[in-house]
Amino acid sequence: MEPIYIAALISFIVGLFGYIIIRFWILPINRYLKIKDRLSSDMNALLDMLRAEQPQNNEAAKIQARRVSVRRHCSNLVSIYQNDLPYWYRLYLESKKEQPLEAAKFSMRLANTRKQEHALRQVTKVKQLLRIKR
């Protein structure tokens, strides 16, 4: 067999493995991390709004919009966690005690919570379950 055919075969195999790793490992993990970052920034903004001493006139609408955004990001996180993430990465998240499925339950409660104290508890619980630091 000529060296050019061997080189072509090797490059084809390397390209195939590279595509599989990129498509099924790296892209889903990056999507998960991006949505988790968006969720973190929304939760920090929501915490700042909830802890404000003097609520403004249009603050209630902004708070509700943030709650809906947090719920949407959590549902996207759960969808990626269950459908797209490789099994080994889910095991890694479990070893870090990160629980997106449990956090989604608390985010659903957060979207329907009206009292400020309860909302603060829900936000801190979601941050704790997703291991989000300030």
Alpha carbon 114 to chain centroid, angstroms: 24
Residue 44 lies in a domain: yes
Q: What's the Cα-to-Cα distance from 81 to each of 74, 76, 131, rounded to whole Å?
A: 10, 8, 15
Output the six-digit token pair for 104. Answer: 């989604």
Residue 107 lies in a domain: yes
Q: Could you tell me the residue range of the domain that residue 63 belongs to? A: 3-129
What is the per-residue pLDDT for 55?
A: 62
Contact 120, 107 (CB under 8 A): no
Residue 109 lies in a domain: yes
What is the per-residue pLDDT for 69?
A: 93
What is the per-residue pLDDT for 84?
A: 95
Output the six-digit token pair for 33. Answer: 């991390």
Give pLDDT tens digits along the chain (134 positions): 899 999 999 999 999 999 999 999 999 999 999 999 999 999 999 888 888 766 666 777 888 889 899 999 999 999 999 999 999 999 999 999 999 999 999 999 988 888 888 888 999 999 999 999 86
DSSP 1-24: --HHHHHHHHHHHHHHHHHHHIII
What is the per-residue pLDDT for 116?
A: 84
* Overall pTM surpassing 0.95 (yes/no): no
**Overall domain count for the chain:** 1
Residue 87 lies in a domain: yes
Rounded Cα distance between 83 and 80, Å, is: 5
